[in-house]
Amino acid sequence: MTWRFALVLDPAASDDSRDDFGGTFRAIDPSAPALSVGELSTQRGDGIFESIGVVDRHAQEVQAHLDRLAHSARLCDLPVPNARQWAQAVAVAAGHCPPTGEAVIKLILSRGVEHGPAPTAWVTAAEAPDNTRAREQGIRVVTLDRGYAIDAPAKAPWLLLGAKTLSYAVNMAALREARRRGADDAIFVSSDGFVLEAPTASLILRVADRFITPAPNGGILHGTTQLSLFEELAGRGFDTAYETIPVGALTRADAAWLVSSVRLAAPVIAIDGAPVPHDAELTASFNRYLLSPRD
């Protein structure tokens, strides 16, 4: 990363009706200490976050990310963020990004200091990593058991499956395991044999002329990029669907992608060592769309 920008927010109530929240956040030195020793985001990973892709200073799909941040807050019993306040903070952060190229804005809402009076909130902006290779050459993935059955979210909502929390140690461990196995990424599967999601991305499969993604009944995080791409595919006349997908269907797909806000559409070229067809032209069209300004 060659540059960074950061804002700290005084979180406003979700029903605060003011028009201008500029006085509720301020820029801070991103390289200087900013969090208390008692901050629960660092002590326990007790908080939520979102990562928003930025293209040429345009923050992509902001409302969809704010909606998901609010959903995660409800699941975690955190105060629901004021969407207007956070949108204004995102606009300020985007304005500090370079005029051309890709960046990433992160929204973080923590439960705050232990026994403290209020949550902690901040917004950062930074240069996005170069994902050209993954987008153009594709990625190899392995399947990893998530360790629970597909009905676990309904039986154990306290697991917070489906919330985008700061507790990302398992996701990072899965990526390290994938690399130990000679792959670039992983796809989580349930212990009873159904496809879930990747540690930091959503999965889309092409079967003939249909595009499918795992149904969100397994505690899957609804992907903002996947939702946007499904809207685009529907506009092109393709059928899209959410389905409960058995693991065996992965290697029978006509194409597969991992999609996310920053990496965008990365074609999967192998799953557990078995090759997967790669449609380079279609992938390029996906990324042209995902790099276009989207609100």
**Tens digit of pLDDT at every position of the chain (295 positions):** 578 999 999 999 999 999 999 999 999 999 998 888 889 999 999 999 999 999 999 999 999 999 999 999 999 999 999 999 999 999 999 999 999 999 999 999 999 998 888 899 999 999 999 999 999 999 999 999 999 999 998 899 999 988 999 999 999 999 999 999 999 999 999 999 999 999 999 999 999 999 999 998 878 888 999 999 999 999 999 999 999 999 999 989 999 999 999 999 999 999 999 999 999 999 999 999 999 999 8
Q: Does CATH place domain 132-290 in 3.20.10.10?
A: yes
> Where along the chain do its domains lie?
4-127, 132-290
Rounded Cα–Cα distance for residues 158 and 59 (Å)? 32
Burial of 151 (0-12, 13-18, 19+ CB in 10 A): middle
Look at residue 118 in the predicted model and tell me its pLDDT.
Answer: 86
Selection from 104, 105, 93 nearest residue 28 by Cα: 93
Q: What are phi and psi of 106, to 5 degrees?
A: -115, 135
Rounded Cα–Cα distance for residues 151 and 156 (Å)? 9
Look at residue 74 in the predicted model and tell me its pLDDT.
Answer: 96
Task: Give the largest CA-CA distance in the chain.
Answer: 55
CATH number of 4-127: 3.30.470.10
